[in-house]
Structure 1
């Protein structure tokens, strides 16, 4: 099927690429279907593009290369609703806020996106009982790691 996207124009996707968020995403409860698209070739960034709304697209990234100590815990109900059977089926992404200069961009570690890549089911968690924030400097963590070496 054809999909009009915010950043990549009109593209062809298949139905099996669609990820279902049964509760939508906080702030966008009516947005229940998204596709995960590569953003830049050979880069770790992706676009979580709404199937319903062309202008709704989030730049996301796997947090672990930037925040190796990052962790969260799923409840039994969340594991069940996402139909997770193996840890390998789980993809974790965080939404970025892009800034100018790019080095000032931030990651929302308080609201990770958890996706069962096998079942194409997703949920955005809200980590209320954590020290994570919605605006962690993305590249500050890499600089800190490099300075430890």
Structure 2
């Protein structure tokens, strides 16, 4: 299927690449289908792009790349909604706010996006843990990772 994207222009995506967000995303509840797109030359970041609305796109990355002590419990409503049976079924990404200079960029650890790899469903979950920041710095170490990718 053909979609219009924020960063990649018009492109072809397979229906098998679509992620269903049954409840949408906070603030974007009407956006139910997204696709994860690679960023050429960058293995650290990806784009979570709405299939419906070209301007609804988020830069995302693996939060464990940016902090070693990130651990949280997935709440029961999320487990039920995504039909999570075992930890291996899922992967987690965080929404990144890119800044200039790059070292000022941050990742949201308070609201990770949980993806169920088997059934292609996902949900952004609010973590009720104040030790995690909405704007966790991704730091200088990632600028070198970005350049190497």
TM-score, length-normalised on structure 1? 0.89
For the aligned residue pairs, the C-alpha RMSD in angstroms reads 1.7
Measured in 2, the distance between the counterparts of 1:116 and 1:141 equals 29
Measured in 2, the distance between the counterparts of 1:22 and 1:34 equals 11
- After superposition, the Cα gap between the structure-2 partners of 1:141 and 1:50, relative to the gap in structure 1 and judged at 3 Å, is same
TM-score, length-normalised on structure 2? 0.89
Q: Is the 8 A contact 2:111 2:125 kept in 1?
A: yes
Shift of 1:105: 0.3
Measured in 1, the distance between the counterparts of 2:96 and 2:19 equals 19
Can you list the C-alpha shifts for 1:77-108, whole angstroms capped at 9, x where unaligned? 32121112232221100001110011110000
Structure 2: gaps spanning 5 or more residues: 143-149
Shift of 1:40: 3.2
- 1:146 aligned partner: none
Measured in 1, the distance between the counterparts of 2:23 and 2:140 equals 33
- 1:83 aligned partner: 83
Find runs of 4+ consecutive structure 1 residues off by over 6 angstroms.
none
- 2:115 aligned partner: 115
- How many residues align structurally? 143
1:30 aligned to 2:30?
yes
Measured in 2, the distance between the counterparts of 1:42 and 1:86 equals 30
1:124 aligned to 2:124?
yes
SS in structure 2 at match of 1:79: helix
